[in-house]
Every structure is written in C-alpha cells, then in structure tokens.
Amino acid sequence: MTAAVTQTATRRRVLIAGAVGNFIEWYEFAVYGFMATLIARHFFQLQGESALTSLIFTWAAFAVAFFFRPLGAVIFGRLGDRYGRKPVLICVLVCMTLATVAIGLVPVYASIGLAAPLLVTLLRILQGLFAGGEYGGAVALMTESAPPGKRGFYGAWQSLTVALGLLAGAAVVAVLPVLLGEAAMHAWGWRVPFLLALPLGAVALWLRSGLDESPQFMQEKKAVVQRADTAATLRAIALGMSRVMVWSAAGYTYLVIMPTYLQAALHTGFNQALLIAVISNLGFATTILPAGILSDRYGRRTLMLLATLLLLLLAFPLLRLLQNPEYGMLIKAAAVFIAGALVGMLAGPGPAMLAEMFPTGVRYTGLGLAYSLSNALFSGCAGLIITGLMKQTGNADIPAWYVMVTALVSFLALLTLKKDNPQRPL
C-alpha cells in the first residue's frame, strides 16, 4: 500500500513539474500577444511608419522566436535523449525564465533607438531556442511516466498548462490597468507581466529539482538497443508536423491573435477584445483533459479527426458571428468558446499522439522537433501572415481561410493514424 501511495505521489509530481515550464512559456507568449499593440508602440514604432506596419514588425519578432524552436528542439533534444530528461529540462527552464525577465528590462525605442527592437528580437530568439527544448522533454517525461492506458490523460496536462498560461497572461494584462491605471500601464506597467516570470521560474525550478529521471529512459539506457533509423525518424517528424498543423494554426488564431485582430480589423475596444480572448481560452481549457481521457478509451484518431473536421466546417461561420455588429456579446462569446473548445479537443490527445510516433532513444528530439516546426510555421507566423495578408488584400476573412487550409492538410494526415495506438506500449 505504501509503495502504491509513493508511486502515485511521484507520478503527480512528474505531472506538475513537467507541465510547469510549459505554463511559464505560454504565459509569456500570451503576454506578448495580448500586449502586441503596446509593444509595437514602445519598441517597433519606427519613424515614418504606420501603426499597422509597427504591428507587423512586432509580430515578426514574435514569429522569429518560433523559427529558433526547432534548433532548440534538436540541440536540447539530443542532449535529453543521451543524458536524460531531468537535467536538460532544468537547464532550459532557467534560461527561458531569464530571457523572459530580460524583456521587461529593455529600454524603449525613444530611449535607445534601433537597439530597442533589436534587443527585444534577440531575447525573443533566445526564448524560442530554450522553449524548443522544453516541450519534447516534458511530454517525453510525462508520457513515459504514465501508467498503462493513461498516456493521453498525462500528456493532456501539458496542453492544459498552455491554456492556464494563456489565461494567466490574459488575467495579468487585464488586471494591471485596473490596479495601476491606464496611463501607468502604457508608461511602465507593461513591464510587470514579464518580470513576474522570475518568481514563477523559481517555483518551477524547485519542483523540477526534486524529480526522478524517466523510468523508461533509465531502462533504455541500460539496455542494448538498435540505433534509430534516421530516415524513418525524419518521415515521422514530417508526418507529425502535418497532423498538428491545424492545432498550431487554429490555436494561435483563436487563442492569441484574436484580440489584436478584433482591435485592428473590427475596431473592437481593448477590454472587450481581451474578454473575448479569455472566453476562447476557457473553452480551450474545458475540453483538454476530457479529450485526453477519451482518447485513451476510444483512440487519438477518432477524436482528432472530429475536431479537425469541425474546425474546417465552422471557421467561416464563427468568424462571421464575430464580424457582425448586430450580434451581442453573448453570441460572440459562445462563438469563441466553441472555437477554443475545438482546439482543446486536438490539444488533449496531441502530446500522447506525438510521443507514440517515436522510440525512446529519439523521442525527446523527434516529438519536440515535429511540434516546434509546426509551431514555427503555423503558430509563430500566424500573426504575421494574417496581418500581412489583410494589409495586402483588405480581406477581413483571412483568419478563417488560414484555419481552413491547415485543417484540410491535418485531416488528411490524421487519416493515417492507427486506431490501436493508445493500447500499444511506447
């Protein structure tokens, strides 16, 4: 009985410690996304450029960080597959936290000129590099530590911290103007959310320091195993990218970029736009754990295909509801709640699905690279692509088209997913 209780407590600590780094990562990404208009004004409002152009520069700095995530996934993934999940996860957590805090300390463009946007962009690059080493290790650790038949549930906790991080970022950005006043928020209060990453990182470091190494990794290290087929690994990475493409694209479109889109394209007030973002993230958080549990019972394939098909079919109707001024806040809230919930149906089974695609010896690297490449191309570039295409075409329907195209590709890729994956050993 004592051994069972100890094992349960150990697994619970793995869940919390594994997911907490992801929480900090997405908290910062949410803060940057929700304050994009303020960041644009302080760092990217170059002389002679329009407000929309400065916003595009802001999203470009946001996007460039994602392109360094795959590099981080390769560097830290190889270290994690060779030396263990725990030491690498501690390293990337500390570095990621310090880079986030540093953004809150950079002087603005009015003080140091072009050095300001360059410094912010450099720090975003470092964040992307370290964040690229976070996801693969955390998911590998959590799914490898999961009891039989619960990989979907364990992996879903990693996705839940995405929702919690986004909601925490939105909450901080919403509450600070009330506490500090609008003038103080615009002058210096925008720095506070970035500086809050320091105490969050300290707590996360304490939790991870007490972790044990993944039992499956330790078993793999002792055994004599065949070297992974590089070509097969690369094919699995490409397939994994395709399967999670809509998760990346729809997730950022509905959960992060929507407030900026509503303000820039539909001239919605800041507070109303932020409230809509909070509601969409609540929808996202609501379905993640149930989706992970259901995927353990009925399979990842069924659930992820259903969510992808619904995103494909509902992209335009949901956007039309937001664009129509005749619809009240309640209807718009329901629309974004549904959009977020559908993304949550992908995010619940997604981590376990990726973990099941790779053997232990390359799991940290493989799933981390598939996830980070998809995020680089379809999450990090979402704000840049949507804003840029809207500027070029004047078409306010670009977000719906973006979701639909990625949903179609992911639907075809998910058709190749085997139905028995949840029951198979890693």
- Cβ atoms of 11 and 147 within 8 Å: the answer is yes
With 0-12 / 13-18 / 19 or more C-beta atoms within 10 angstroms meaning exposed / middle / buried, residue 4 is exposed
Question: What average pLDDT does the segment 243-265 reach?
Answer: 78
The confidence band for 413, taking pLDDT boundaries of 50, 70 and 90, is very high
Q: Helix 360-378 and helix 230-252: axis angle, to 10°?
A: 40
- Write phi, then psi, for 131 (nearest 5 degrees): -65, -30
Whether 164 and 112 have beta carbons less than 8 Å apart is answered as no
Question: pLDDT per residue over 106-148, tens digit each?
Answer: 998 888 888 888 999 999 999 989 988 999 999 998 998 888 8
Q: Answer whether residue 270 shows pLDDT above 70.
A: no
Residues 27, 33, 38, 40, CA torsion sign? positive
Q: Concatenate the DSSP letters of all residues of 183-231 into one string.
A: HHHHHTGGGHHHHTHHHHHHHHHHHHHTPPPPHHHHHHHHS--PPPPHH
Q: Which of 137, 366, 354, 133 is nearest to 231 (CA)?
A: 366
pTM (2 decimals)? Answer: 0.84
- How many angstroms separate the CA atoms of 383 and 378, rounded? 9
Phi and psi based region of residue 4 (left: phi greater than 0; alpha: psi -120 to 50; beta: remaining):
alpha
The answer, yes or no, to whether residue 349 has pLDDT greater than 90, is yes
Confidence of residue 1 (pLDDT cuts 50, 70, 90): very low
Phi, psi of 394 (to 5 degrees): 70, 10
In eight-state DSSP terms, residue 189 is: G
Query: Which element (helix H / strand E) includes 77?
Result: helix 69-83
Distance CA(320)–CA(256), nearest Å, equals 19
Residue 354 above 70 pLDDT?
yes
Residue 73, φ and ψ in degrees, nearest 5: -65, -40
Contact 77, 369 (CB under 8 A): yes
Average pLDDT, the chain: 85
Q: Quickly state the pLDDT bin for 259 (edges 50, 70, 90).
A: low
Least trusted range by pLDDT, from 157-161, 204-208, 422-426: 422-426
- Rounded Cα gap, residues 404 and 165, in angstroms: 26
CA pair distance 96, 69, nearest whole angstrom: 12
Q: For 280-301, how does the pLDDT look when each residue is reduced to its tens digit (9 = 90+)?
A: 888 999 999 999 999 999 999 9
Question: How far is it, in rounded angstroms, from Cα 16 to Cα 18?
Answer: 6
Least confident of 84-98, 229-243, 246-260: 246-260
Whole-number pLDDT of residue 394: 80
pLDDT value at 355 more than 50? yes
Q: Which fold has domain 11-211+230-423?
A: Growth Hormone; Chain: A; (1.20.1250)
**Segments making up each domain of the chain, as ranges:** 11-211+230-423
Based on its alpha-carbon atoms, the radius of gyration of the chain, rounded to whole angstroms, reads 21
pLDDT digit string, tens, across residues 53-106: 787 788 788 778 878 989 999 999 999 998 888 899 999 999 999 999 999 999
